[in-house]
Amino acid sequence: MTDDQEPIRDIAHLGHFEIYTPKPAESLSFFKEILGMEETYRQEQSVYLRAWGDYDRCTLKLTEAKRAGLGHVGWRTISPQALYRRVQALHASGCGIGWIEGDTGHGRAYQFEDPDGHYMEVYYESERYLAPPQLRAKLINQPQKFTARGAAVKRIDHINLMCTNVTPNREFIQDKLGFHLRERLQPEEGGVEEGAWLSVTPLVHDIAYTRDFTGNRGRLHHISYWVDNQEDVLRAADIMSDNDVFIEAGPAKHNITQAFYLYAYEPGGDRFELFSSGYLIWAPDWQPVTWRKTDRGRGVYWGGTLPESFKTYGTPVVDVSALSKEDLFVFDTA
């Protein structure tokens, strides 16, 4: 921190995430045909993709692997100096892994692990997407033509990571990377923290940590892309239903984040969220909103409940048959 009265402001935004899939061809088809994303590169076991409104060359790296799950999360810093500051802090904390030379779409990156064991990296240099002639938009302020294919997701939105214990992960990302806590699920005052929603941008969250009731480490709850309005989410639900994509929950509205959401599983097993609506946070002194049992904190604003799978399913997939109702009781989140 350059000034101990002022917060860290070094992370610019969520740059990309990498997910693993045991069914690479089917997963790729889902992201390209059902969600309408563009493939921008292939290398070894990975395909690089972006949404039509993403300014980056890659926001999703899809990598073939034996099991579904998170590869890593990439955070872009606001400047080279900011990158330097974050690397120093991460290194000092003992969670650092080291530098890599970069990847398709970005330059040198410093890798590290969060307390729950999710891989992350910070980097500054990024490759701005330049559309080939057939994909060039008529609007010069739009990175790519609107291809109108499938759900036509517009841009990367956020990531939700499961963890055995929310608190240390939340504190880690606040302290080391400067995230602001926006909302929190803690059913009982002084009780266990079930979920935390944080951001460095005015988005209500760039990342969420939610409790893994199965007791496993390092799992992925979901990745999320944005569409500009609720009609587009409904339209996507029609497209998914007509193409035999299982919709786990939604379209509906969360209490937490006010998201208008739809959750589905991509063919490899990773959960995917289509997100719209919500709200933006402008206050530099935002006071985190804490949801208690009594605040209708069941995750669904208009009524109903989220399915039980929402509490236990994540990737890699684990056996949950031994879990009792009591284990799952308290958890209901977004």
Distance of closest approach, residue 140 Cβ to a copy of itself, in angstroms: 5
Q: Which of residues 235-294 bind a copy of itself (CB under 8 A)?
A: 235, 237-244, 246-253, 255-258, 260, 262, 277, 279-280, 282-285, 287, 289, 291
Q: Which of residues 93-132 bind a copy of itself (CB under 8 A)?
A: 126, 128
Q: Which of residues 55-74 bind a copy of itself (CB under 8 A)?
A: 55
**Under rule CB under 8 A, residue 78 binds a copy of itself:** yes
Q: Which of residues 131-170 bind a copy of itself (CB under 8 A)?
A: 137-142, 145-146, 148-151, 155
Q: Which of 82, 181, 196, 223 binds a copy of itself (CB under 8 A)?
A: 82
Q: Which of residues 203-242 bind a copy of itself (CB under 8 A)?
A: 204, 228-232, 234-235, 237-242
**Under rule CB under 8 A, residue 45 binds a copy of itself:** no
Number of shown-chain residues binding a copy of itself (CB under 8 A):
81
Q: Which of 98, 191, 202, 215 binds a copy of itself (CB under 8 A)?
A: 202
Q: Which of residues 297-316 bind a copy of itself (CB under 8 A)?
A: 301-304, 307
Distance of closest approach, residue 38 Cβ to a copy of itself, in angstroms: 14
SS (H, E, C) the chain: CCCCCCCCCCEEEEEEEEEEECCHHHHHHHHHHHCCCEEEEEECCEEEEECCCCCECCCEEEEECCCCEEEEEEEEECCHHHHHHHHHHHHHHCCEEEEECCECCECCEEEEECCCCCEEEEECCECECCCCHHHCCCCCCCCCCCCCCCCCCCEEEEEEEEECCHHHHHHHHHHHHCCEEEEEECCCCCCCCCEEEEECCCECCCEEEEECCCCCCCCEEEEEEECCCHHHHHHHHHHHHHCCCCEEEEEEECCHHHEEEEEEECCCCCEEEEEEECCECCCCCCCCEEECHHHCCCCCCCCCCCCCHHHHCCECCCCCCCCCHHHHCCCCCC
**Under rule CB under 8 A, residue 183 binds a copy of itself:** yes
Residue (45 or 229) nearer to a copy of itself, CB = 229
